[in-house]
Amino acid sequence: MLRVSRLTDYATVVMTVIATHPADVLSTAQIADEARLELPTVSKLLKLLGHAGLVESFRGVNGGYRLARPAEAISLADIVEALEGPIGLTECSIAQGHCDRHAQCGVSGSWQSVSGAIDGVLRGMTLAQMLAGRPAAPAKGAANPAQANA
């Protein structure tokens, strides 16, 4: 269904929880509690988000996590990429040359085009906007914004 994985969905929740406490370092347990998610799952997510440079970690007693950048500077695309790798609808969209049918398939260009547009949509939605609840037009940079759903 053209889904993002459930972990990615959870990751956005985790990020918004962290973002609502901009001044604090939150432990995994606190975050899991506020996000209503299992602790091991949240722990795994935070590791991934840390590797992607979206959160900063602090070890030891009173350690925990904090946003690495202001919420305005973190996009949904950043989060999706942290969990799922580079954004692209098809294999061709990410790396050419893998497909031996590439020469005659003819659709790769179209897929790349829409992948780019979708990347723009995701990049236009910031964590700050997600916090705000009802964001304005999410599709900046994409040529076909469409209506903001129902």
Partner DNA sequence: TGGAAACCGGACCAAAATGGTACTGTTTTC
Partner DNA sequence: GAAAACAGTACCATTTTGGTCCGGTTTCCA
Residues that bind a copy of itself (CB under 8 A): 1-4, 6, 9, 12-13, 16, 36, 76, 80, 84-94, 101-125, 129-131, 133-136, 138-150
Identify the CA nearest to 48 among candidates 4, 93, 10: 10
User: Contact, 96 vs 108, CB < 8 A?
Assistant: yes
Distance of alpha carbon 62 from alpha carbon 146, whole angstroms: 46
Among residues 88, 95, 94, the alpha carbon closest in space to that of 117 is found at 88
The partner in contact with residue 51, picked from DNA, a copy of itself, none with C-beta cut-offs of 5 to 8 angstroms by kind, is: DNA
CA distances from 26 to 18, 32, 40, 150 (A): 7, 10, 15, 34
What does the per-residue mask of binding to DNA show for 50-79, with x meaning CB under 7 A?
A: xx-----xxxxxxxxx--------------
* Residue of 16, 43, 112, 129 that binds DNA (CB under 7 A): 43
Residues making contact with DNA (CB under 7 A): 1, 5-7, 10, 26-29, 38, 40-41, 43-44, 46-47, 50-51, 57-65, 84
